[in-house]
Amino acid sequence: AQKITQTQPGMFVQEKEAVTLDCTYDTSDQSYGLFWYKQPSSGEMIFLIYQGSYDEQNATEGRYSLNFQKARKSANLVISASQLGDSAMYFCAMREGGGGADGLTFGKGTHLIIQP
């Protein structure tokens, strides 16, 4: 089974609108972290925001917020007031704390295009 599922391969959004990118995850660990990265066409992975499994409040970083619903195992990224520069691939990732490998497990990504 996929550990990270991003169901939106591509999205078109009007500039200045809010956008929600979906992410669901699968783990049996009690301790884990969820991350969102942005990858522009240049290829570099840019960290946006993270959420720990024990955090009760949703994380926020500027225009980015993470809508964490633990019971549903979802960690959606919300971008408020979208800008043209937000056009990029967005990846959701998870790091499990069960003593296994410490690498991140990524989803397949969502290609977000902001239209003027």
Partner 1 sequence: DTGVSQDPRHKITKRGQNVTFRCDPISEHNRLYWYRQTLGQGPEFLTYFQNEAQLEKSRLLSDRFSAERPKGSFSTLEIQRTEQGDSAMYLCASSLGMGGDVLDEQFFGPGTRLTVL
Nearest-approach distance from CB 116 to partner 1, in angstroms: 26
Q: Note whether 90 and 109 are within 8 A (CB).
A: yes
**Residue 60 touching partner 1 (CB under 8 A):** no
Task: Indicate which single residue of 5, 8, 11, 45 sits in contact with partner 1 (rule: CB under 8 A).
Answer: 45
Residues ≥6 apart with Cβ < 8 Å to 57: none
How many CB atoms are closer than 10 A to CB 2?
Answer: 11
**Residues in contact with partner 1, shown as a per-residue x/- string from 65 to 104 under the rule CB under 8 A:** --------------------------x-x-xxx---xxxx
Nearest-approach distance from CB 93 to partner 1, in angstroms: 7
Q: Which residue reads 């549903």 in tokens?
A: 72
Nearest-approach distance from CB 42 to partner 1, in angstroms: 7
Nearest-approach distance from CB 94 to partner 1, in angstroms: 9
CA distances 111 to 12, 65, 75, 103, Å, are 9, 18, 17, 23
